């Protein structure tokens, strides 16, 4: 049940704790009743089944002969890299470190170290989430024909955003703080054994705040000063062709509040009004 993932170098230390309970009873005999419930969930997970390719120590020293060699290419064919200024192949597949962009070198300091000649690393984005759920309801039996109830529910959810100065790849998921609330009022009235009116009013509110870890880095931290930074502590970089990624498209700061109202009134369908009129008249008098 807790076997190691086939592609992971180690077992995922998954811990899930979930508990709660319910309580209900009467407030006034045969008239007023209550019900309440609570559930709490804690999840702690440390997966390591993701794979990325980062610069090797040789590449950071300007030697790309191994990375561009046949052994590190998907098709087994060595890759030729040209000098961007002359258009000619790099001599011995090497380039002077002095020509590296300072911001790229600053970013490399936050990448995990690798001993693989092709730069392969296995990593996982930790998961730490907490969720609390509450529900409460009160039912009122006004009389044998009339009932009324109110219900309130609350869901609080928190997902932690991570930052590791030695492995910035863990920033690929955003954090999230979410609260969802609903309040419902329901009224049911029985006019006759065949005519029942049921009305409901629902109010809902949801707030969803997402964003990166506040200890993260941004473009200015790396020295890229001429770049607008809309969200502090946020960086998104993607290296194509089987490289690595930092941050994500939905990791930037976002506040998403939603409020909704709904009213419904239900009566039996498929009935002919003329057939119901004799039954309604005594109720209307």
135 close to 36: Cβ distance less than 8 angstroms: yes
Q: 3-class SS at 253? A: coil
Task: State what percent of residues in the chain have pLDDT above 90.
Answer: 54
Whether 188 and 265 have beta carbons less than 8 Å apart is answered as no
More confident residue, 141 or 232: 141
Under 8 Å between Cβ of 23 and 35: yes
Nearest to 159 by CA among 173, 171, 177, 172: 177
Determine the pLDDT at residue 231: 79
Tens digits of per-residue pLDDT, 166-195?
Answer: 999 999 889 999 999 999 999 999 988 888
Would the CA dihedral through 159, 161, 164, 168 be positive or negative?
Answer: positive
CB-CB contact of 6 with 41 (8 Å) = no
What is the percent of the chain with per-residue pLDDT over 70, rounded to a whole number?
93
- Cα–Cα distances (Å) from 194 to 144, 188, 200, in that order, read 15, 13, 20
Say how far apart CA 75 and CA 130 lie, in whole Å: 45
Terminal C-alpha separation, the chain: 68
Going through 7-159 in order, the beta strands assigned E by DSSP cover 15-28, 32-45, 50-53, 120-123, 127-141, 146-159
Confidence band, pLDDT 50/70/90 cuts, at residue 284: low
Q: Where are the domains of the chain?
A: 15-60+100-284, 63-99
Cα separation, 203 vs 226, whole angstroms: 46
- The confidence band for 267, taking pLDDT boundaries of 50, 70 and 90, is confident
pLDDT of residue 102: 92
Mean pLDDT, all residues of the chain:
88
> Averaged over 23-52, what is the pLDDT?
92
pTM: 0.78
Is residue 74's pLDDT more than 90? no
- Is residue 212 within 8 A of residue 168, CB to CB? The reply is no
């Amino acid at each position: 049940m807790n076997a190691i993932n086939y592609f992971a170098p180690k077992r995922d230390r998954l811990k899930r704790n979930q508990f709660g309970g319910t309580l209900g009873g009467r407030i006034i005999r045969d008239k007023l009743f209550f019900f309440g419930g609570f559930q709490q969930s804690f999840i702690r997970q440390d997966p390591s089944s993701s794979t990325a390719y980062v610069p090797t120590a040789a590449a950071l020293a300007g030697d790309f002969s191994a990375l561009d060699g046949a052994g590190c290419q998907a098709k087994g064919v060595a890759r030729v890299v040209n000098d961007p200024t002359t258009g000619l192949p790099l001599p011995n597949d090497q380039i002077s470190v002095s020509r590296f962009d300072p911001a790229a070198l600053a970013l490399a300091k936050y990448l995990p170290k690798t001993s693989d000649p092709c730069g392969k690393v296995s990593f996982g984005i930790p998961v730490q989430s907490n969720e609390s759920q509450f529900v409460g309801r009160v039912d009122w039996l006004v009389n044998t024909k009339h009932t009324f109830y109110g219900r309130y529910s609350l869901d609080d959810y928190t997902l932690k955003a991570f930052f590791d100065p030695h492995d910035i790849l863990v920033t690929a998921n955003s954090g999230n703080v979410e609260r969802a609330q609903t309040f419902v009022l329901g009224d049911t009235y029985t006019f006759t054994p065949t005519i029942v009116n049921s009305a409901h009013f629902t109010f809902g509110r949801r707030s969803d705040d997402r964003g990166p870890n506040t200890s993260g880095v941004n473009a200015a931290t790396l020295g890229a000063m001429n770049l607008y930074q809309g969200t502090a502590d946020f960086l998104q970089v993607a290296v194509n062709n089987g490289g690595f990624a930092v941050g994500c498209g939905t990791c930037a700061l976002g506040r998403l509040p939603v409020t909704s109202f709904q009213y419904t009134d239900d009566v039996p369908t498929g009935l002919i009004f003329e057939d119901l009129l004799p039954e309604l008249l005594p109720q209307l008098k």
